[in-house]
């Protein structure tokens, strides 16, 4: 399991990156990308995204 990031919605603000307690998120080509093996489904990143690009 891991969150899903809608790349067409993501505006590359990087707000989600620092919200992740296990550093599962990184920026790749100005879009957030989740490492599915690292994500623990805590949901912390979801509420930080200003455009609701992250879903469970
Ligand atoms: S759900 Fe939690 S662990 Fe997974 S990417 Fe978001 S903040 Fe990180
Ligand atoms: S917070 Fe949302 S818009 Fe900003 S980089 Fe993360 S997924 Fe993209």
For the chain, which domains are there? 4-55 (3.30.70.20)
- What is the pLDDT, as a whole number, of residue 1? 82
The residue to mutate among 4, 6, 14, having the most atoms of ligand 2 within 8 angstroms of its beta carbon, is 14
Mean pLDDT of all residues in 1-19: 97
Mean pLDDT of all residues in 34-40: 98
- What is the pLDDT, as a whole number, of residue 30? 97
CA-to-CA distance for 33 and 45, rounded, in angstroms?
A: 12
Any idea of the CA torsion for 26, 30, 36, 39, to the nearest 10 degrees?
40
* Radius of gyration of the chain, Cα coordinates, nearest whole angstrom: 10
- What is the pLDDT, as a whole number, of residue 51? 98
The residue to mutate among 11, 43, 50, having the most atoms of ligand 2 within 8 angstroms of its beta carbon, is 11
Burial (CB count within 10 angstroms: exposed 0-12, middle 13-18, buried 19+), residue 6? middle
Band of the pLDDT at 7, cuts 50, 70, 90? very high
- What distance separates the 2 farthest-apart alpha carbons in the chain? 25
Mean pLDDT, the chain, whole residue set: 97
């Amino acid at each position: 399991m891991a969150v899903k990031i809608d790349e067409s919605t993501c505006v590359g603000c990087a707000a989600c990156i620092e919200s992740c307690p296990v550093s599962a998120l990184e920026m790749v080509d100005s879009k957030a990308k989740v490492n599915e093996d690292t994500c623990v489904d805590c949901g912390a990143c979801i509420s930080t995204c200003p455009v609701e690009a992250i879903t469970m």
